[in-house]
Structure 1
Amino acid sequence: MSGFTEDQQRLIDVWETHTAAEFALKDADAAVATMTDDVCLVHVPVGTGAFGKEALRTFYREIFIPQSPPDFTLELLSRSVGQDRVIDEFIVRFTHSIRMDWFAPGIEPTGRQLAVPHVGIIGFRGDKMCSEHIYWDQATVLTQLGVLDPALPVMGANQCEPLVSTGAEMNELIVRGKP
């Protein structure tokens, strides 16, 4: 059981059931079955999501699930679990093959491959999720999509490298910014 208590593992199991419903099963009903009636989902960088189980079911069914690319993957980097919270650090990878208004509102598919570090803070009440706050760097997303000038002090896909490789180049933006 990876060093987690039984209660902590139960939270992890609910969270993993939830993400499987979203990305493997593509089933909005199965995803919201893991949640309380007053749940809130906030994709912090772009302000997308919903408040309340029924609004979230609609969001998942009409926007999130159909607008998630088929090659969308999550690579878990670290996990912290408390009494009522799971905090995951992960990298999302996908090809921007479809419009994703929940992630990059208003941007038509570019065909570009993206790699974006994320942090998810998942709150629980009992054995149900009551909140999902998901964070990422939107400037990195927009740079990888070709919307922002890559000369700006933004990392792009290289932002993932120090998280997965101890030999990664560091201080790239400082070096690039020197006269």
Structure 2
Amino acid sequence: MRLFKRDTPETTQQDSTDASPQGGTLPSAALADIPKDQRGGPYEELEDGRFIVVGRNIIMVTDATHLVDSGLWHEVQYASWDARTRQFRLVWSQPDRPALVGKTISDNPQSLMEKITHRVDDTIVATRRFVTSTGASVAATVRRRVDGELFSAVVTSGPISDADQEKAYELEAKLREELGMDS
């Protein structure tokens, strides 16, 4: 598969490296570290020299020379991008895994954000939500791993009370029951 190249003042001729429509040339050494079956998706360069690369089954972070981090799509909780600051943020489903944060070089990573949203949404089977009296959002979600196995998780947008935590776990159990999952 071929990634697309955008001509910029620094990169005006086609070469053997692949590039994103918006965000600089992916260095050959970094590209060589990306599994061949995961190439072809959009990517964006961050100001610190890292690249966010969308693969078929995984999202990857590279620097100029090699793959730095990666995760399967079901491991991604969400990604966001702030147009005013160009800040990209990817939050992992695992609460103790640090978020991936950086400023994009480009001012419109639309292709990257659309593909991330699509890939993450493809893993979501069902979600039930409620908002606590303090305004925190609580979501019980069932997602599908790349191997087809279903799993559930409860995610909150902030601290919640013990009573709301109990309500969240009850919501998760009800959702699992609705989908015929073993408790």
| TM-score exceeds 0.5 | no
Bigger radius of gyration: 2
TM-score (norm 2): 0.29
More helix by share: 1
Greater RCO structure (CA 8 Å; 6+ sep): 1
